[in-house]
A and B are shown apart, each in its own frame.
Chain A
Amino acid sequence: MMASSTGHGNALLGALRRIDLRVALAAVAALVASASASQAQVELKTYMDDKGYLNVRALTCAQLAGTFQEDADFLGAWYSGWWNGHLKRHVVNIPRAKQGIHEIIVFCKDHPDEKVVDAVDEYVKKVQAGGK
């Protein structure tokens, strides 16, 4: 009985150790993934020239997607205004503009080599073709 009980105890301990190891491995994997994600996000100033200017015609989708969410949102609103100003349009539809920014950020995540201005251009053409 004692031997049997000890045998069950050893088996239980072994199982717990295996679970512990799996939990530890999963935790390490999560930490590594989290560290990589943090490393991937950079501040906008990384893309500025020596005078502190960001060339909005040269910014790529990878750069937009690689920055912090707050900065990406800021840039999205700025680009929306810039695009309309560029086309001499004086109206804004806020819900539609916010939806457009969201879709461009999603598009940029899948097309890192595109320039943001080209992504905006493609999105606007798609919306116009859809008659929205």
Chain B
Amino acid sequence: MKFIVSFCAMTLLGAGAAQAQVELSTYGDAKGNLDVQKLTCAQLANTFQEDADFMTVWYSGWYNGLAGYSKLKVDRAKELEHRVIVYCKANPKTKVITAMDINIKKMRKEQGIKVNDEK
């Protein structure tokens, strides 16, 4: 009996988790274009892990492209990806670009990184 109850609970939990995950294109326009300046942490956290990972790396590149940087530090980019995901889970109402900005500045400060190194 106990086994059946816990099995049912696990099934319900699994179904709940699956329902919570949606494709990122849900937040896009009719053509599937997603405005990256509007995406929130909650939306990023509620999507599939694969898409969340893709988007976090994409944001890292986007941020560097916007700023005109042409140099990439892979380990730092991966660390940033991790920090943004953790930050987003704790701050669902924040926009992802804000989470990126906060964490990039924090990492630069912690590691004494000079902006000109990245140009």
Q: Could you tell me the distance between the alpha carbons of A52 and B72 in the complex, rounded to whole angstroms?
A: 8
Identify the closest chain B residue to A85 (Cβ): B65
Of the candidates B24, B57, B66, the one whose C-beta lies within 8 Å of that of A77 is B57
| B35 and A90 contact, CB distance less than 8 A | yes
Identify the closest chain A residue to B33 (Cβ): A91
| B34 and A51 contact, CB distance less than 8 A | no
| A82 and B62 contact, CB distance less than 8 A | yes
- Asked if B91 lies at the interface with its beta carbon under 8 angstroms from chain A, I say no
Q: Could you tell me the distance between the alpha carbons of A44 and B78 in the complex, rounded to whole angstroms?
A: 13
Q: Could you tell me the distance between the alpha carbons of A55 and B77 in the complex, rounded to whole angstroms?
A: 14
Chain A nearest Cβ from B31, distance in angstroms? 7
Neighbouring A residues of B36 by C-beta, 8 Å: 90-92
Neighbouring B residues of A53 by C-beta, 8 Å: 71-73, 117-118
Chain B nearest Cβ from A11, distance in angstroms? 58
Neighbouring B residues of A86 by C-beta, 8 Å: 65-66, 68
- Asked if A34 lies at the interface with its beta carbon under 8 angstroms from chain B, I say no
| A94 and B74 contact, CB distance less than 8 A | no
- Asked if A123 lies at the interface with its beta carbon under 8 angstroms from chain B, I say no
| B62 and A81 contact, CB distance less than 8 A | yes
| B74 and A84 contact, CB distance less than 8 A | no
Given contacts A77-B61, A81-B58, A81-B59, contact A52 B73 (CB under 8 A): yes
- Asked if A130 lies at the interface with its beta carbon under 8 angstroms from chain B, I say no
- Asked if A98 lies at the interface with its beta carbon under 8 angstroms from chain B, I say yes
Give me 12 other A-B pairs in contact (C-beta within 8 A), A56-B72, A92-B58, A94-B24 excluded: A51-B117, A53-B73, A71-B74, A74-B77, A74-B78, A77-B58, A80-B61, A85-B65, A92-B55, A94-B55, A96-B32, A98-B54
Task: Give 25 CB contacts A-B under 8 Å.
Answer: A53-B73, A53-B117, A54-B73, A55-B70, A55-B71, A71-B74, A74-B74, A77-B61, A78-B64, A78-B72, A81-B60, A84-B62, A85-B61, A85-B66, A85-B67, A87-B65, A88-B66, A92-B33, A92-B34, A93-B32, A94-B25, A94-B32, A94-B55, A95-B25, A95-B32
